[in-house]
Structure 1
Amino acid sequence: MKRMKMRLRLFIQLQCFLIGSLVDSSILPSAARPLSITSTAGSQAVLPCSWKTSLGEVAPSACHVQWDTPPKTIFERYGDAEWQAAEFKDRAVVPEEKLESGDCSLIIKDVQIGDTGRYESFMVVEEGRSRNTRVFIQSVKLYVTDHKSQHFHRPGEDLVLELHTPHSFRVVFQSRNSSEWSDLWMRGDENSPRLDKHPILEQLTLKKLTSSDEGTYKVIDEQGLAVSTVQLSVEENLPAFKAHQTLSNIPTDDAAKSSYSALLALSVLVSSFQILHLL
């Protein structure tokens, strides 16, 4: 009997742990936590916002939205008038027609690594001729990650390096047998017989690969941050399953943590059923 009680107590403790591990912050009320948005450099990010959650269904007399990266304002729309901070020039927008219907989401085009941070949205409500009140709507954490990939090619083939964004400024190279980084390309460079920048697309082609081209290539933006990292292998007897293969989307830390949490929860669930079977 005593042994059974101990098993039952252990089972209850494991169940509590399982429930705790399955409770993700994403199911908590939005008012209690900021939303988290993850995007990759060069893509488009949408930072959610709905003023109806705070102001109700009745639209303010004039829709006036502000987005901050505390402590400064980086975007503002009032009717058809729009303002953007210099670092978001021609990249940030809240469509006027969506704003009037309640959607104050901020769209950031061509997101950069440096855009990572916390964003807060506010609606400015008129309370008289000379008084306005800012009503807090939503807090969003934006994470912008770099691209990681691994390429396999045979000698004589070409490597196409994606620059991902017009803000990519240079490409650096580290040979497999070296610890030194060297400049391979900078924006504005003229094309060479082996290195060619596409006239329209953000692509750089390294032609007629040799074994000396093996190593790591990094695309760097104007702030010196890595937009992408490419590992290149050049093999004469490349297996058929590796030919022209590109391994992309290497899991980020957040993805790894999510996978670990899922495995942990599954492990506890299996153990719980095993214990229940022994009771």
Structure 2
Amino acid sequence: MGKDSVQGESYENRADVPMEMLAEGNCSLILSDVRFRDAGIYESYLVVGQSRVKNQILIHSVRLAVVDHKHIQSVESGKDLILDLYTNQAKMLVFQQEGTPEWRVLWQRGQDSGGERWVEERGRKLVVREVVTSNSGTYRVVDEEGLTLSTVKVSVTGSVATTGSEVKEKQISLDSGKVDAPSLCLTVVLFLSSHALIHLP
């Protein structure tokens, strides 16, 4: 609406059509901090006609799919494992040791870890300090709804000896339906840390 714009409640501070692009005839929508609930169909319309009689002309339609990050990582025993959080949506890090069915909580946003300081949050990353062979397995970062934002399969190599007792972790059972990323029809793939540029000519 001229220089004014209105954003939907769940898109506040995340959706933008830059005026400098619009002045050149490009009405592409930039969607930041993409999340699973953003998946769906986006359509742009040109509104024409007088004040009382207006018509909407479809310009473009895009089906957006959102998927989680998947990585395989190898780290030497005794060194730190660094995991990207990608987004502020990250609420919890869970771990499944190789060969076991259980998932354990290693980190939760906003909760004090007490004396267990071997997992640290540093900006947009988590650091698992001085890993050992038993740290091999699958690491998942999930959001507040239990949906997987990233999955990293980690193998610990080398034979560096460790000292001291291993830190005991709180064990939880996770509903597999909530841990796995939703199955979406993939047309446009976006990573959660990226900006989505939906080109609407």
TM-score (norm 2): 0.73
Q: How far apart, CA to CA, are the structure 1 residues paired with 2:41 and 2:146?
A: 21
Secondary structure class of the residue paired with 1:222: coil
Cα deviation 1:46-70 (Å, max 9, x = unaligned): xxxxxxxxxxxxxxxxxxxxxxxxx
- Distance, in Å, in 2 between the alignment partners of 1:82 and 1:223 is 30
| Structure 1 residue ranges, 4+ long, deviating more than 2 angstroms after superposition | 189-193
Q: Percent identity among equivalent residues?
A: 37
The aligned residue for residue 180 of structure 2 is none
| Structure 2, unpaired ranges of 5+ | 161-184, 188-201
Q: 1:82-121 residue pairs with structure 2 within 5 A? A: 82-121=5-44
Q: Which has the larger radius of gyration?
A: 1
Show the counterpart of 2:68: 146
Q: Distance in 2 between matches of 1:80 and 1:138?
A: 22
Letter in 2 for 1:228: S
In the alignment, is residue 223 of structure 1 matched against residue 149 of structure 2?
A: no
**1:40 aligns to what?**
none
State the aligned residue count: 161
| TM-score, normalised with respect to structure 1 | 0.54
SS at match of 2:5: strand
Counterpart pick for 1:135 among 31, 48, 57: 57
SS of residue in 1 equivalent to 2:30: strand
Distance 1:158 1:224 in 2: 26
CA contact (8 A) 1:79 1:96 kept: no
CA displacement at 1:103 relative to structure 2: 0.8
Give 1:205's match in structure 2, choosing from 118, 121, 127.
127
Q: Matched residues in 1 for 2:145 and 2:47: separation?
A: 33
Kept in 1: contact 2:42–2:61 (CA 8 A): yes
| Matched-pair contact (CA < 8 Å) for 1:113–1:145 | yes
**Given the alignment, which residue of 107, 121, 128 partners 1:185?**
107
Return the offset for 1:97: 2.7
CA distance, structure 2, for counterparts of residue 103 and residue 208 of structure 1: 50
